Chains A and B, each alone.
Chain A
Amino acid sequence: MFYREAGEFKTSYVDDNQTFPIRFDRYRYYAVLAVAFLIVPFVINDYWANAVLLPFLIYAIAAIGLNILVGYCGQVSLGTGGFMAVGAYATYKLMTAFPDINIFFHIVMAGGITAIVGVLFGLPSLRIKGFYLAVATLAAQFFLVWLFNRVPWFYNNSASGQINAPERTVFGQAVTGPATEAWATYLFCLVFTVASALLARNLTRGAMGRRWMAIRDMDIAAEIIGVNPLISKLTAFAVSSFFVGIAGALFFAVYLGAVEVGEVYGINKSFLVLFMIIIGGLGSIFGSFAGAAFLVLLPVLLKNVLVGTLGWPTGLASHFEIMILGFLIIVFLVAEPHGLAQLWRVTKEKLRLWPFPH
């Protein structure tokens, strides 16, 4: 019934190269987009936007970025939090220095700045591999957070050391600052998320993505068949940091509004995004979304059940939450090391044959 390929004849290269080659898949994708753009903005309220939808959309961008680096290019990075901080502080500096330019461009430019920083910290990857590289990226994490904490220029010498997003509008509607409406911030983030996912999907399908995957599978072999490791690894770092920077910028400007760098962009953030792509599935754009959804929803759900229903004290519930999170990560790794994306793939295969599995 579902995922039938029968009767679909591809008569041109354009048809053959579509992002979603199966018609059912394509319609499902359009349906999801239609719901996200046309229905959700009308039913959204502040609680849903702030507790679930905004973090989900923003983390999905970060997860896509990290997935490009770890899942597609095989370079493990633990510096995501630091790169998100670069995006946030770049946006802040741009917002306060050029208040007349639209925030949309600020955020894209912040992504660009993060990409440059990412390339700088990616340079050692040409010499250092595997775990050594993973630990080396921690240098970026700690150094960047320290830098933003200690150099007053980055937070415009504000007394609290925090950065606060001033009010900025898109088409006359406030998307940052205190007086935003849920649907506006939601749509603003959604545009970025959809654009990132499209861009990432097409990059990974093209020549660049193939180079990354060749490097991931075996870098020496890739080098021998003519893949330039310098360019491949650094483009992976650049593209990945670009997305992560945008996520950090949105997280600061649209979602939180005020940020204390050590608290928000600490090492835990790096691990959280890494968990997302591991649980979601390495090397899969859909996996990035699934992992982000899972790890955003899980704490909300646990909190509602433990504190709301069972009436536990919040401190106790938060410890329990950490424990459950660790437990679930282990369960996932033991049961399905390739993540939710793999479950989805298996389901799709089953659906293609259903109801006649032979």
Chain B
Amino acid sequence: MPDQLLFGMEVFLNGLMAGVLYALVALGFVLIYKASGIFNYAQGVMALFAALTLVGIMEGQVPFSHLINAIFGTEVHHFGWHLPAVVGIVLTIVVMIGLAWAVNAFIMRHLVNQEPIILFMATIGLAYFMEGLGDLMWGADIKKLDVGLPQGINTAIDEATYDFFGYGFFIDNLDIWATVIAIILVAALMLFSQYTKQGRALRAVADDHQAALSVGISLNFIWVLVWSIAGFVALVAGIMWGAKSGVQFSLSLIALKALPVLMLGGFTSIPGAIVGGLIIGVGEKLFEFAIGPLVGGATENWFAYVLALIFLVFRPQGLFGEKIIERV
């Protein structure tokens, strides 16, 4: 087989894995958008915040230590414990649920019935707030996140492909794990929304707020639930990206990667988020591989957006979005 084709295949597989991670972030967007019509820009920052909190709890950092030191002139840094990953994850989930409650109680409840653009702006404000809060709580330095997932080249695939093609594919163990976990997560979400009482209530709210309210579903509870689930999804995404490239500010920028995924897949469709994520992941990696060197590289920054833009001109509601019906 020609080398270019083999490289291309490797790029394709890696793109697929990256696409799964994009899909994971996009999923959080879709969940909140479906249930409350809020376009939650803060999803990426939630992933950053969750990852920061997880690292902070596991390492036993004192929250706001820099702030406390600056104000009182003390020298506190760590509590001096190291918690196992499982405990850290559980505690972080508790924090994210608390955050979901706070967001609803202090922001979203006051903005019910406002125009979507106002809600969107509120989530951008929330994103800024949480970005500052996360840095203030846990410090802005780059942190290593190790929850015990295997990392590095997968030797089994490397050897198998070497035997078969005469060229070993480089595929990161972490990417494989991320894919598996993402699939499990999506399956769990599907089962949850299909077979549990809360899941049904969630779908009812997504379908029609007022009808759901009239049959006795508590909108407040559902919104807190949805934001909690989105927080959980953000945590998973944060762990994956954090383990890959360290927990740092750039983590919040994955939200920007998820936006074209959403456009492509449609804001209201969970399968759309996944398929969109895969298309974008593969598309941008292959484009960078094939065209990137000709035009100076770093095309990943914009390729996804331009692809989504061109696609939307032909299909304005995205791949799986609900058909937009306009009435006067």
Question: Whole-angstrom distance between the alpha carbons of A127 and B106 in the complex?
Answer: 36
Cβ A139 vs Cβ B309 within 8 A: yes
Q: Which residues of A contact B297 (CB under 8 A)?
A: 150
Q: Which of B181-189, B195-203, B213-221, B310-318 touches A?
A: B310-318
Counting CB contacts under 8 A, is B209 at the interface? no
Cβ B305 vs Cβ A136 within 8 A: yes
Question: Whole-angstrom distance between the alpha carbons of A75 and B106 in the complex?
Answer: 29
Q: Which residues of B contact A319 (CB under 8 A)?
A: 132, 135-136, 140
Cβ B128 vs Cβ A323 within 8 A: yes
Counting CB contacts under 8 A, is B227 at the interface? no
Cβ A326 vs Cβ B328 within 8 A: no
Question: Whole-angstrom distance between the alpha carbons of A5 and B76 in the complex?
Answer: 64
Counting CB contacts under 8 A, is A224 at the interface? yes
Give the distance to chain B from A84, nearest Cβ to Cβ, in Å: 17
Q: Which residues of A contact B136 (CB under 8 A)?
A: 316, 319-320, 323
Q: Which residue of A lies closest to B119 (CB)?
A: A333
Cβ A324 vs Cβ B107 within 8 A: no
Question: Whole-angstrom distance between the alpha carbons of A329 and B119 in the complex?
Answer: 11
Q: Which residue of B lies closest to A218 (CB)?
A: B328
Counting CB contacts under 8 A, is A226 at the interface? no
Known: A128-B313, A333-B118. Is A313-B124 also a contact (CB below 8 A)?
A: no
Cβ A278 vs Cβ B121 within 8 A: yes
Q: Which of B228-236, B255-263, B271-279 touches A?
A: B255-263
Known: A128-B313, A322-B128, A337-B114. Is A150-B121 also a contact (CB below 8 A)?
A: no
Query: Which residues from 104 to 158 on chain A have a C-beta closer than 8 Å to any C-beta of chain B?
Result: 124, 127-132, 134-136, 138-139, 142-143, 145-146, 149-151
Counting CB contacts under 8 A, is A25 at the interface? no
Q: Which residue of A lies closest to B66 (CB)?
A: A316
Most A CB contacts (10 A, CB to CB) among B66, B70, B326 go to B70
Q: Which residue of B lies closest to A74 (CB)?
A: B117
- Give the dominant DSSP class at B's interface: helix
**Count of chain A residues with a beta carbon within 8 Å of a chain B beta carbon:** 51
Counting CB contacts under 8 A, is B299 at the interface? yes
Residue from B121, B130, B133 in contact with A329 in the complex, judged by beta carbons closer than 8 Å: B121
Give the distance to chain A from B135, nearest Cβ to Cβ, in Å: 4
Cβ A221 vs Cβ B328 within 8 A: yes
Residues 98-120 of chain B, each 1 if its beta carbon lies under 8 Å from chain A, else 0: 00000000110011001111101
Cβ A124 vs Cβ B305 within 8 A: no
Residue from B122, B128, B263 in contact with A135 in the complex, judged by beta carbons closer than 8 Å: B263
Residue from A129, A135, A150, A323 in contact with B259 in the complex, judged by beta carbons closer than 8 Å: A135
Residue from A76, A124, A150 in contact with B309 in the complex, judged by beta carbons closer than 8 Å: A124
Cβ B132 vs Cβ A334 within 8 A: no
Query: Which residues from 250 to 266 on chain A have a C-beta closer than 8 Å to any C-beta of chain B?
Result: none
Q: Which residues of B contact A315 (CB under 8 A)?
A: 140
Residue from A131, A145, A218, A330 in contact with B107 in the complex, judged by beta carbons closer than 8 Å: A330
Q: Which residue of A lies closest to B324 (CB)?
A: A129
Cβ B267 vs Cβ A131 within 8 A: yes
Give the distance to chain A from B53, nearest Cβ to Cβ, in Å: 16
Q: Which residues of A contact B121 (CB under 8 A)?
A: 274-275, 278, 329, 333
Residue from A136, A146, A221 in contact with B308 in the complex, judged by beta carbons closer than 8 Å: A136
Q: Which residues of B contact A130 (CB under 8 A)?
A: 116
Counting CB contacts under 8 A, is B306 at the interface? yes
Counting CB contacts under 8 A, is A187 at the interface? no
Give the distance to chain B from A128, nearest Cβ to Cβ, in Å: 5
Counting CB contacts under 8 A, is B2 at the interface? no
Q: Which residue of B lies closest to A321 (CB)?
A: B132
Counting CB contacts under 8 A, is A351 at the interface? no
Counting CB contacts under 8 A, is B131 at the interface? yes
Counting CB contacts under 8 A, is B39 at the interface? yes
Counting CB contacts under 8 A, is A208 at the interface? no
Counting CB contacts under 8 A, is B150 at the interface? no
Q: Which residue of A lies closest to B134 (CB)?
A: A319
Question: Whole-angstrom distance between the alpha carbons of A169 and B140 in the complex?
Answer: 44
Give the distance to chain A from B167, nearest Cβ to Cβ, in Å: 31
Q: Which residue of B lies closest to A147 (CB)?
A: B302
Residues 134-158 of chain B, each 1 if its beta carbon lies under 8 Å from chain A, else 0: 0110001000000000000000000
Counting CB contacts under 8 A, is A325 at the interface? yes
Counting CB contacts under 8 A, is B126 at the interface? yes
Beyond the given A138-B305, A324-B132, A333-B122, could you list 4 further A-B residue pairs with CB under 8 A, ordered by the A residue number? A128-B309, A135-B305, A139-B302, A139-B306
Q: Which 3 pairs show the lowest CB-CB distances between chains A and B? A: A323-B132, A326-B129, A326-B128
